[in-house]
Amino acid sequence: DAGITQSPRYKITETGRQVTLMCHQTWSHSYMFWYRQDLGHGLRLIYYSAAADITDKGEVPDGYVVSRSKTENFPLTLESATRSQTSVYFCASSDGGVNSPLHFGNGTRLTVT
Amino acid sequence: GQNIDQPTEMTATEGAIVQINCTYQTSGFNGLFWYQQHAGEAPTFLSYNVLDGLEEKGRFSSFLSRSKGYSYLLLKELQMKDSASYLCAVVSSASKIIFGSGTRLSIRP
């Protein structure tokens, strides 16, 4: 089925571990985004990508790394997880940039112990 | 700085009308989105405004005043399934999408 999928849906990891959250979309959308959602903060942009091999920082990029070697994939890596990175992570895509609606994946709930 | 304000919670009655307000102060303005998010689910697109005025889409309408830095989402003929969070998001001049914290709307029978 076409769409945007995230994996895993749930992840528990320990402080200091490296974790990679996967995001795959089948629409060939140019733009992809990573957000985190925390109570009281709403959705905050971590990184975004305008096309393959082009990425840029959002509001809260520290502690995260992204890559976009293929248009359809946009993995997010936490290099050394901290408890403050416990959150729900949403990947999104759009076909026309920031003035087009975002299509969100179902999210990954990450707990760092 | 960038700031988007929405009420944290609202309650309304089934069949009634509710207006959810959003005020923003951002570095420039290139459009405003409203998204709906049911508990435990992903946000879904509701509306987009870039010019002043009212955009109507079925039971939902969205209004924008750029000079006042103000938008509202109007929901008519409320249904129980409208119980959700409603997120206001502004596109700044730097082409960044900034989300408000969302308004949790509860519908009572």
In order along its 113 residues, chain A shows pLDDT tens digits of: 569 999 999 999 999 999 999 999 999 999 999 999 998 788 999 999 999 999 999 989 999 999 999 999 999 999 999 999 999 999 999 988 888 999 999 999 999 99
Which residue do the tokens 């733009």 mark?
A: A31
User: Is the CB of residue A77 less than 8 Å from the CB of residue A66?
Assistant: yes
Question: Rounded to whole angstroms, how far apart are CA atoms B25 and B1?
Answer: 7
Which residue do the tokens 């399934």 mark?
A: B81
Give the gap in angstroms from C-alpha B93 to the nearest C-alpha of chain A.
Answer: 11
In A, residues 57-96, which contact B (CB 8 Å cutoff)? 58-59, 90
Q: Two tokens at B11?
A: 């309650």
Considering only CB atoms, which chain B residues are within 8 Å of A59? 96, 98
- Residues B61-70 as b/e (b if ≥16 CB within 10 A, e otherwise) read bbbbeeeebe
Q: Is the pLDDT of residue B98 over 70?
A: yes
Q: Two tokens at A104?
A: 């969100």
How do strand A10-13 and strand A108-112 relate by DSSP bridges?
parallel
Question: Rounded to whole angstroms, how far apart are CA atoms B67 and A29?
Answer: 33
Q: Two tokens at B73?
A: 């989402």
Instruction: Give the residue among B25, B22, B41, B17 at the shortest CA–CA distance from B33.
Output: B22
Give the gap in angstroms from C-alpha B18 to the nearest C-alpha of chain A.
Answer: 21
